[in-house]
Amino acid sequence: MPEPVRIGDHALDNLRYIRETMERAGSFTSIPGWGGLAIGITAVGAGIAVRNRTGEAWLSGWLIEALIAAAIAIVTMAIKGKRAGVDFTAAPARRFFASYFAPLIAGAILTFVLWRAEQYLAMPALWLLLYGASFVTSGAHSIRVIPVMGLLYMLLGVAAAVIPEAGNLFMTVGFGGLHVIFGFVIARSYGG
């Protein structure tokens, strides 16, 4: 006869299950890993395409990449969310998106200000810092790897602020490399 399970072990297993269920219910988990990987690949292409461009040509190239990345993110997030039965109007999703978009909206407004002043060298630092901030803040409502990714973006933003002439390289490493690496990690560890 098998040895009976001690009541304390059974209770601990139940508590662990309840805690994990509550954590999943309170966080947004539809971050698309494969979508992030695709965004990273297109960002590397954009970084290479605009590497010798300046001013408005450089800005136009990265803004086109941002539109492509947004389209990839929307489509892949919708696919992952539908597969997992995620309600994008539920409280965890609303909290995630509110904290994610606030820094991005600030970045868009400040980009307009910098564009009018023709301060293109300041844009990579601004974008990397605020994109990183969007992941740090939204990561509080998502999977654990998201804030780590955000901190790395912010470190690249600091580097771009210190060495503005290498801003395009830092953006290619961040928007390209970090998306590829973390996209793969998210896809493998958190289900696509």
Beta-bridge partner residues of 142: 28
| Per-residue model confidence (pLDDT) at position 97 | 86
Q: Is the pLDDT of residue 107 over 60?
A: yes
Domain annotation covers residue 66: yes
Domain annotation covers residue 8: no
| Per-residue model confidence (pLDDT) at position 133 | 96
Mean pLDDT for 90-101 is 85
Alpha-carbon distance 8 to 175, whole Å?
48
Domain annotation covers residue 19: no
| Per-residue model confidence (pLDDT) at position 17 | 65
- Contact yes or no for 133/150 (Cβ under 8 A): yes
Domain annotation covers residue 148: yes
Range of the domain at 71: 30-190
Alpha-carbon distance 87 to 90, whole Å?
5
Q: Is the pLDDT of residue 70 over 90?
A: yes
Residue 89: band (very low, low, confident or very high) from pLDDT cuts 50, 70, 90: confident
3-class DSSP state for residue 50?
A: coil
| Per-residue model confidence (pLDDT) at position 113 | 98
Domain annotation covers residue 16: no
3-class DSSP state for residue 142?
A: strand
Tell me the percentage of the chain whose pLDDT exceeds 70: 86
Domain annotation covers residue 11: no
Domain annotation covers residue 18: no
- Contact yes or no for 128/156 (Cβ under 8 A): yes
Number of Cα atoms under 13 Å in the Cβ half of residue 122: 11
pTM: 0.82
Q: Provide the domain count of the chain.
A: 1
Query: CB burial class (10 A; 0-12, 13-18, 19+) of residue 189?
Result: exposed
Residue 75: band (very low, low, confident or very high) from pLDDT cuts 50, 70, 90: very high
Q: Which of 128, 118, 124 is nearest to 55 (CA)?
A: 118
